[in-house]
Structure 1
Amino acid sequence: MTSTEALTLRVNHRDLDILHVLRAPIGGLMRHVEDLVRGQVDAGHRVGLLCSSADATPATTARLEALAPLLALGLHKTPIRRLPSWSDLSAIGRVRGLVRHHGIDVVHGHGAKGGLLARLALPRHRDRGPFADTRAVYTPHGGSLHYEPGSLAGLVFLNAERWLASRTDAFIFESLFAREAFAFKVGRIGGFSRIVHNGIGPGDFAPLPEAEPLYDIAFVGELRLLKGVEDLLRALAQLKGRDIKAVIAGDGPDRDYFKSRACDLGIAHMVTFPGMVPAREIFAQSRMLVVPSYAESLPYVVLEAAAAGIPLVATRVGGIPEIFGSQSARLVSPHDLEDLTAAISNTLDDAAAAARTAAELRTSVARHFSIGQMIDGVDEVYRVALQRVEGPYATHVEDADTTRTAVSGG
């Protein structure tokens, strides 16, 4: 047996020590990491989590506390700012100390800041010493990819991504869109990459309580301009001759602006802003979910709504077409008020057709977007990265056809 064959056998048949690093433990990113942690612990791995000490909401604080007993390598909180800061040096040192202390196999950075901390914590040349067997894995989750190459912020963040690519052993993208956006905006740098779609579990497919809906139209998510909420409000204004009730659940930096816009448009009586409410609670109270975003990666709220069987109106952005698969032709164009209004109106007018379409989408999502597939796909990436003996990649992000996807959407 060669040394490479021996390494492969050893890597493929042992439990791993894994450290997940992220900034804000909120939203879909937190759900993704939480599901990964639970699945990896169930598989026998030892897992730790490091995140910001300042960004959690009360709800996510409770989720972190529930997760903590599962974390054999600990739950660690440290100050992490969204933008570059001198405090990053302390956070990098904290990650490096955990890697050294626990002999971590994989440091998995999530989002732009988590990816930066995870990769800078490991020496650029680590062919020997305490970090020789540690691999850096990065999932952007949108992050830096939200910035345009021609903007000042894009210049800073995308150049940082280019520089950090040479310190990355493997990239995981949650959608084909994310990988193509990375290749376009950052460039063909970095090497091994794999698409592993976000996955959802049996609880997401549980039947919703049967009750008369309180709302005709629902939005669930972060209340900021990028999510297209203003377009939804304008569509509601076009439909205000009808007896329609809408709920816009969530919080965010533009919440007060959206409430003001509802008043300006004369639809304040049609719209409720309840703040943060569990998504499934809103699904159970509503006839449809509208996702009018201008940009997304592979949003959990779309997967969760599809699994719940609630009719969906969504924009053709990011990885949403990958979720809709054969139904992607019915997605609406972002920023297109007439298209959005017509789709909402058609869904309200033909509830039976909307229910049939929702049931078909639910079946497709159950087939292609399971937590089990996600856990197995991520584990495969870790194993491949650990089998490398010559250190990080520094070549290119592969073209879409040259690396198999761990989960095929459709």
Structure 2
Amino acid sequence: MRIVHCFRSPVGGIFRHVRDLTEAQVAAGHAVGIVCDSTTGGAYEERLFAAMEDMLALGMWRTPMQRHIGPGDIEAAWRTYRIIQKLQPDVLHGHGAKGGAYARMFGSLLRVSRSRVARLYSPHGGSLHYDETAMTGKLFFGLERLMQRFTDHLLFVSDYEQRTFRRKIGPPRPQSSLVYNGLGASEFIPVTSHADAADFLYIGMMRDLKGPDLFIEALARVETALARQVSAVMVGSGDDLPRYRGQVATLGLADRVQFLDPMPARKAFALARFIVVPSRAEAMPYIVLEALAAGLAMIATNVGGIPEILGAASPALVQPSVEALSAKMSEALRDPGGYRANMPAGADLKARFGADVMARHIEAAYFSALGERDEEDHPRLRVISRFS
């Protein structure tokens, strides 16, 4: 198959998801291409792109895509459509709200003049994070209902995402599947913390949705509760980074909180003893899977698909509030060994969240969307994955 992945922001979980799928699909013999925004990301993302370039038979295409709806969308959409038109995909897989809209609109336009194109959409949270009672939410959910007419298959990364779609938009009209994000075998090797590791790690996008402001405020409260200083490392980038630096300075934490540019997750894991995921909303965050697979002890908010990874009754789960986070962070520092004992076993995680399983199910969805359901006639359904 000729597979094109379309998404806006080449950072965070969506980019990680696409990279994993690309590697598995290329290993299975498919021709893959990527179309995404050219204005997002930094040096770290450029290195990731460079590592992928040789495997992409359909190429790496980057063009400006704005995050919010606006006048510039018309020009951006036309540029993106012309790129996808040249690539002549059999499968057009959109990720996130913008990528999903482009994949379904442009896939439908391509059908006017050529053979069938399978149009798939993975929300990855995206527009599902909006409040259904607010005007913006009503607008986006109305568009999502309309776009279902141009969708061949919906792919959800968590049961939470699937339930949220049903609640805010309605029962899916096209075929749909739940396929968890997955990790490669090498990611289940434990990471050892450095001797001078900080107490806590935050790694992710620097935006309020991910909760870095909650994390910083909670650090200050932990110091008060324990009557001692604590240290932290914050890894990531984003437009709101200067505001978080200012928050750290205002709270008098500047000499104990280190800000670092994006880096491989496993490298960051060695910088601290505990990882904190303070998100206000999530779908199925890779960072939770990666950290647990690497053997890190975790504190995470009870949002989105996170309970599906840790278990709904996990004592590591807290509400996305400064009070709840600081209390759990204090608990972890008081009894580090006891706290670590509450983490799920690596073997259980590997059985549920393997990259080979993820790739196999998604490829089956592609063939189903193309109307090719007979595995005997289509042996490529048996994915040969580098991750297995």
Provide the TM-score with structure 2 as the length reference: 0.89
Paired residues of 1:80 and 1:91 also in contact (CA < 8 A): no
Q: Sequence identity of aligned pairs in percent?
A: 37
SS at match of 1:33: helix
Alignment CA distance shift 1:239-1:210 (3 Å): closer
SS at match of 2:198: coil
Cα shift at 1:386? 1.4
Structure-2 separation of matches of 1:348 and 1:89? 50
Distance in 2 between residues matched to 1:27 and 1:19, nearest whole Å: 19
Partner of 2:27: 42
2: CA distance between counterparts of 1:153 and 1:87? 23
Q: Write the deviation string for residues 330-367 of structure 1: whole angstroms up to 9, x where unpaired.
A: 410122x3322221112112222233333x34332212
The answer to whether the Cα contact below 8 Å between 1:88 and 1:117 also exists between their aligned partners in 2 is: no
The correspondence for 1:362, drawn from 343, 346, 362, is 346
Kept in 2: contact 1:223–1:252 (CA 8 A): yes
Note if 1:294 corresponds to 2:280: yes
Q: Distance in 2 between matches of 1:274 and 1:302?
A: 19
Deviation at 1:239, TM superposition (A): 2.2
Structure 2 residue matching 1:123: 3-state secondary structure: helix
| Paired position in structure 2 for 1:227 | 210
The CA deviation at 1:304 is 0.7
* Cα displacement (A) at 1:255: 1.6
> Following the alignment from structure 2 to structure 1, what is the Cα–Cα distance between the partners of residues 74 and 279?
34
* Aligned partner (choices 93, 97, 100) of residue 85 of structure 2: 97
The question of whether the paired residues in 1 share the 8 Å contact of 2:7 and 2:95 is answered with: yes
Name the CA distance, whole Å, in 1 between partners of 2:81 and 2:230.
Answer: 54
The aligned residue for residue 387 of structure 1 is 371
In 1, are the aligned partners of 2:61 and 2:83 still within 8 Å (CA)?
no
Once residues 356 and 213 of structure 1 are traced to their aligned partners in structure 2, the CA distance between those partners, rounded to angstroms, is 22
Q: 2:178 aligns with which of 162, 186, 195?
A: 195
Q: Distance in 2 between matches of 1:224 and 1:361?
A: 31
CA 327–73 in structure 1, closer or farther in 2 if over 3 Å, else same: same
**Structure 1 stretch 195-204 or stretch 170-179: which is displaced more?**
195-204
Amino acid paired to 1:380: A
Alpha-carbon shift at residue 148 of structure 1 (Å): 1.4
Paired residue secondary structure (1:171): strand
Which residue, 117, 122, 128 being the options, matches 2:107? 122
Change (3 A) 1:229 1:123: closer
Which residue matches 1:185?
168
Select between 78-87 and 19-28 the one with higher mean Cα deviation. 78-87
Counterparts in 2 of 1:157 and 1:95: CA distance versus 1, 3 Å: farther
Q: Which amino acid aligns with 2:346?
A: R
Q: Following the alignment from structure 1 to structure 2, what is the Cα–Cα distance between the partners of residues 175 and 262?
A: 34
Determine the structure 2 residue equivalent to 1:7: none
Deviation at 1:326, TM superposition (A): 5.9
Query: Within the alignment, does 1:307 sit opposite 2:254 as a pair?
Result: no
1:338 is paired with a residue of what secondary structure?
Answer: helix
Q: SS of 2:53's equivalent?
A: helix
Does the CA-based 8 Å contact 1:227-1:292 persist in structure 2? yes
Give the aligned residue type for 2:206.
L
Contact 1:324 1:361 in 2 (8 A): no
Is contact 2:10–2:45 with CA below 8 Å preserved after alignment?
yes
1:8-407 equivalences in 2 (<5 Å)? 16-84=1-69, 85-99=73-87, 102=88, 104-123=89-108, 126=111, 129-131=113-115, 133-209=116-192, 211-240=194-223, 241-325=227-311, 327-335=313-321, 337-358=322-343, 360-387=344-371
The RMSD of aligned alpha carbons is 2.1
| Superposed CA offset, 1:157-177 (max 9, x none) | 222211111100000011111
Aligned residues of 1:217 and 1:286 also touching (Cα < 8 A): yes
Q: 1:86 to 1:286 in 2, by over 3 A?
A: same
SS of equivalent to 2:252 = coil
